[in-house]
Amino acid sequence: MAVIGGSTTGRKARWTFVDIAVVAYALIPVLWTMSLSFKTAEAQTDKNFFPSEWTFDNYKAIFTTDQFVRALVNSIGIALIATLIAVVLGTMAAYAIARLDFPGKQALVGVSLLIAMFPQVSLVSPLFEMERQLGLFDTWPGLILPYITFALPLAIYTLSAFFREIPWELEKAAKMDGATPAQAFRRVIAPLAAPGVFTTAILVFIFCWNDFLFAISLTSTEASRTVPAALAFFTGASQFEAPVGSISAAAVVITIPIIVFVLFFQRRIVAGLTSGAVKG
């Protein structure tokens, strides 16, 4: 790069070009889905990238069917509960891993690493049978439990990496200055730990929100089917009409939270992902 050195504008122009390529790479499939969701039923087969005529009919259609609304409620509820529990349990374990010395610590880290790499489909058969026997099949807890399990390694890794960075001496200093342990925790430690916990919550939520395999294997009705699973079972207005519009509209709706997270918390998500995987 130093060879061409001189002109900064030239280099800037080249980087701008590269940036545009990256942005196009990331956005084209998303824009395509949006475009389909705004196309009228007749225009869906015109194979144009952009709709010639815009309509909100597809959105109106999905929000008036129980199929989608129920699934959306399930998705939100299940992902939030699983995230909450996984983050609480993960915070406890990560605190212990980062700050305390006890036998079995390495074993726990090893086990969570194993679970992170675990082929989820290997669990589908036994969980399917066990949940049927326990009456958990096709219920919220039936999905929340495996989600927590697979989110925990992620939570523990990310959080313990964050907790290692916290200057814990500050807690002692606060106590010396006369703060009670509760005050020291609330005023000093909690604000320092909050960003890490929050980042982890986002990553865990994205994971739960994303899951498809458990969602179609361990549910069978609208009682607990989440949106990704429901999408696969969408039907058109008639038997012979492909549900392109409704699927695309539903897809756009469940992409919104992801886009919001990414826009507002880009820095944190990057920090969380990299600290968890490579303790740099």
Partner 1 sequence: MSQQTVESGPAATPAEPAPRKGKPALSEGKRAERRLGWLLCAPAAIVMLAVTGWPIIYSVWLSLQRYDLRFPDQREFVGLENYVAVLSDGYWWTAFGVTVLLTVVSVAIELVLGMLLALVMHRTLVGRGLVRTVSLIPYGIVTVVAAFSWFYAWNADTGYLADMFGAQAPLTEQIPSLLIIILAEVWKTTPFMALLLMAGLALVPDDLLKAASMDGATAWQRFTKVMLPVMKPAILVALLFRTLDAFRIFDNIFVLTKGANDTSSVSMITYNNLIKGLNLGIGSTMSVLIFIAVAIIAFIFVKLFGASAPGSDQEGRR
4 sits near partner 1 (criterion: CB under 8 A): no
83 sits near partner 1 (criterion: CB under 8 A): no
To which residue do tokens 């504008």 refer?
A: 9
Give the CA radius of gyration of the chain: 23
DSSP letters spanning 141-206: HHHHHHHHHHHHHHHHHHHHHHHHHS-THHHHHHHHTT--HHHIIIIIIHHHHHHHHHHHHHHHHH
Stretch that binds partner 1, among 57-65, 66-74, 87-95, 190-198 (CB under 8 A): 87-95
Interface residue with partner 1 among 206, 225, 246, 249 (CB under 8 A) is: 206
> What DSSP designation does 62 have?
H
279 sits near partner 1 (criterion: CB under 8 A): yes
Q: How far is the CB of 194 from partner 1 (least distance, A)?
A: 19
Residues 197, 87: contact at Cβ < 8 Å?
yes
**Under rule CB under 8 A, which residues in 209-268 are in contact with partner 1?**
209-210, 212-213, 216-217, 227-228, 231-232, 242, 244, 247-248, 251, 254-255, 258-259, 261-263, 266-267
**Under rule CB under 8 A, which residues in 114-133 are in contact with partner 1?**
114-130
1 sits near partner 1 (criterion: CB under 8 A): yes
Q: How far is the CB of 35 from partner 1 (least distance, A)?
A: 9
76 sits near partner 1 (criterion: CB under 8 A): no
Q: How far is the CB of 187 from partner 1 (least distance, A)?
A: 22
Residue 118 neighbours by CB under 8 Å, 6+ apart:
150
How far apart CA 12 and CA 46 sit, in angstroms, is 39
